[in-house]
Structure 1
Amino acid sequence: MEERIFLRESGVVVSNARFIVPTQTFAMAGITSVKTFREVPKRGGLILLMLFGMLLLLGGIGIAAGNGSGAAGAVVIAFGLLLTAAAIFAMSQQRDRFHLLLKTASGEAKALTSVDLAFIKRVVAGLNEAIVHRG
C-alpha cells in the first residue's frame, strides 16, 4: 500500500504508516490513541517578586514622606518599581504549553510540545485520520 500523507507542517509528518516529529519517528501501527494536555506555567515565584517590589515601593514612599530623606526614598521607590515591572513583564511573556501524548503498547509518550494550540489540534486531526485510515 502506498504511503498517504495526512499532514506535513513545521517538521511534523503524519502518514498512514508513520508519525514523524523532529526528534523521533513513531510507527502508526503502534499508536492506539492520541490526546493533548495543557501545561500552565508556574507563576508563584514571579508573584512573590512582584509583591516584594510593591512592598519596596510602599516602603520607599514611607521613607520619602516620613523622615525627609528624599534621595533614599527615591532609590527604594525606583528599585521597587523595577522589580514590580520586571515581574509583570515576565508573567506577560509566559505562555501555556500544549503537549501531544501518544498511547502505545509500551505506554504513553510525549511526542510533541508547542505553544500553538491550533497546530497541536491539526496534528491530532491528522493522527486521527491516519488511525481511521489504517483500519
Structure 2
Amino acid sequence: MNTTREPAWQEETTAASSRTERVFMDEGPIRVTSARFLVPGNTFAMSGVTSVRHIEKDPALVFGYLLIIGGVFLCLSPSLIAMGVIFVLGGAIYLWKGKGRYNVRLQTASGEIKALTSRDKDFVRRVVYALNEAIVYRG
C-alpha cells in the first residue's frame, strides 16, 4: 500500500503580473511554486535551479558510544557505580533517540546550495518532490 499522497496543486495569479504561478507545496514557512522556493530567510528563483537532491546525515553516534564506554569504566569503581549507570543509560537513550539530519540541496549555475535542513525525513522528501515537480513544470 502506497502511503505517499499526491499534493493538490494550486494556481494563483501573482500581483506583479498576470502570469499564473502554480503552488506545489505550502507547509508552514516552506513554499514551493513554479517560480520560487521560499524558506525562512531565503527565496530561491526556480529559474536558476537546475537540480535538487536530499542528503541524509547520520547522527553523531560516537557521543553515545563514548558515554556508554565511560559509564562502564566508572562502574568498575565501587564509589562511582551510580554515576556509571547514569552515563550508560544516557548513552543508550542518546543512541536510541538520535535522529539524523536531512538536507535539501539545490544545484544552481553558481554551485550547490544547502537550502533547508530538517530532522523530519518525510518532510524533506515532500520538499524535494515538490521542487522536482516545479522544475518539470517550468520545462
TM-score range, shorter chain: 0.7 to 0.9
Q: Give me the CA root mean square deviation.
A: 1.3
Give 2:100's aligned residue: 96
Q: 1:79 maps to what in 2?
A: 83
Aligned-residue offset at 1:91: 2.5
TM-score normalised by L of structure 2: 0.81
Aligned residue for 1:127? 131
Whose strand proportion is higher, 1 or 2?
2
Give matches, 1:7-86, under 5 Å. 7-57=25-75, 59-60=76-77, 73=78, 75-86=79-90
Equivalent residue letter for 1:77: I
TM-aligned CA deviation for residue 46 of structure 1? 2.7
Q: Distance in 1 between matches of 2:67 and 2:110?
A: 43
The alpha-carbon deviation at position 6 of structure 1 amounts to 0.9
CA distance in 2, matches of 1:109, 1:33: 11
Give the TM-score normalised by structure 1: 0.83
> How big is each residue's C-alpha offset from its partner over 1:7-43, in whole Å with a ceiling of 9 and x where there is no partner?
1012111111100011200000000000011001112
Q: Distance in 2 between matches of 1:84 and 1:133?
A: 52
| Count of residue pairs brought into register by the alignment | 121
Matches of 2:86 and 2:66 in 1, distance apart?
14
Q: Per-residue deviation at 1:78?
A: 1.0
Q: Is the helix fraction higher in 1 or 2?
A: 1
Q: Structure with the greater relative contact order (CA < 8 A, sep ≥ 6): 1 or 2? A: 1
Q: Which ranges of structure 2 fall in alignment gaps of 5 or more residues?
A: 1-18
